[in-house]
Amino acid sequence: MKSFKKFAAVAGVAIIATAVASSATAAGTAWTYTGLTGPSHWKTIDPTNYATCADGTAQSPINIVAPTRSDLVNLAFSYKPSEAGIFNNGHTVEAEPLGTSTSAVKIDGVSYNFAQFHFHAPSEHEINGMHYPVEIHFVNKSADGKLAVVGVFVKVGATNAEWAPFISKMLSATANAEETKVELDWAKLLPRNKQTIRYNGSLTTPGCTEGVKWNVFNHAIEMSQAQINTFLEAYSGNNRPVQPLNKRVVTLDSTSAK
Ligand SMILES: [Zn+2]
């Protein structure tokens, strides 16, 4: 009886441990940005789903140096104001349009529906080896599942009224988007000047899936130091290090006044 009890207790612990491990993976909390579960170990954590993080050849982010200049067709944004759900996913704070969203962006003739934005601090992309304090990613998805991410750098400057509703809820947001709602005018969160830097890359979080169209605005938006500090208080150091460019071409729109 004694030994049976002991076995049951051990088995019980094993079951609990398995349940915790799998739910942590499902919730996306197993990987981190530092230490033994940091970026250089992402493949090891889940070799089935995260292999591309180590084996991919078109990974993001990158250090942007001397991009090729070429005249590009502007991104055509049709982002419309809507109610936003704000939530904390354990790696960043995110905002997504609630209800039926009709916000989209057209790139090279393909329409991508706006799904969510989230942020990294400091910026994930570097310009000539330099980081901005914050980079925001607007994630857009086409009908056939292709991703186009629009990157917005943030620099210290004037208080940004358009971003204030999101910033005011960042620190109190829970894991449930339905619990924290604000009105956001998504289009006004972007820089006025729409000149972009473009290249083909990947998601910057596990599984680091490739085939992502990257569009990084060349002009940063301004926020006050106090506003930026709220981002840093929510998350700091949630940036993946830059990845090898390999043979990829990085293009800067040659038309600077967009
Ligand atoms: Zn991101």
For residue 19, is pLDDT > 90?
no
| Residue 188: per-residue pLDDT | 98
Q: What is the pLDDT of residue 17?
A: 38
Active site residues: 91
Residue 247, Cβ neighbours under 10 Å: how many?
A: 7
CA of 119 to the centre of ligand 1 (A): 6
Does residue 75 have a pLDDT over 50?
yes
- What's the mean per-residue pLDDT of the chain? 90
- Whether 1 has a pLDDT exceeding 60, the answer reads no
Q: How confident is the model at residue 256 (pLDDT cuts 50, 70, 90)?
A: confident
| Helix spans in the chain (H) | 2-27, 42-45, 52-55, 164-167, 225-234
Mean pLDDT of 24-45: 82
Domain residue spans of the chain: 1-30, 31-253
For residues 177 and 85, is the Cβ–Cβ distance under 8 A? yes
Write out the H or E segment, with its range, that includes residue 81. Answer: none
Query: Around Cβ 186, how many Cβ atoms within 10 Å?
Result: 20
Q: Which residue is listed with tokens 């820089």? A: 191
Q: Which long-range contacts (CB under 8 A, 24 or more apart) does 116-121 make?
A: 117/186, 117/189, 118/89, 118/92, 118/93, 118/94, 119/92, 119/93, 119/231, 119/235, 120/92, 120/204, 120/235, 120/238, 120/239, 120/240, 121/231, 121/232, 121/235, 121/236, 121/237, 121/238, 121/239
Q: Give 168-188 pLDDT, tens digit per residue.
A: 999 999 999 999 999 999 999
Domain 31-253 class, CATH top level:
alpha beta
Q: Examine the pLDDT at 131 and tell me if it is beyond 70.
A: yes
pTM, 2 dp = 0.89
Q: Could you tell me the sign of the dihedral formed by the alpha carbons of 6, 23, 59, 126, in that order?
A: negative
Judged against a pLDDT cut of 80, whether residue 20 lies above it is answered with: no
% of the chain beyond a pLDDT of 90: 85
Instruction: Over range 193-207, report the average pLDDT.
Output: 97
Model confidence at 100, pLDDT cuts 50, 70, 90, reads confident
Tell me, in angstroms, the distance from the centre of ligand 1 to residue 205's CA: 7
Rounded distance from Cα 231 to ligand 1 centre (Å)? 14
Closest CA to 106 of 145, 68, 76: 76
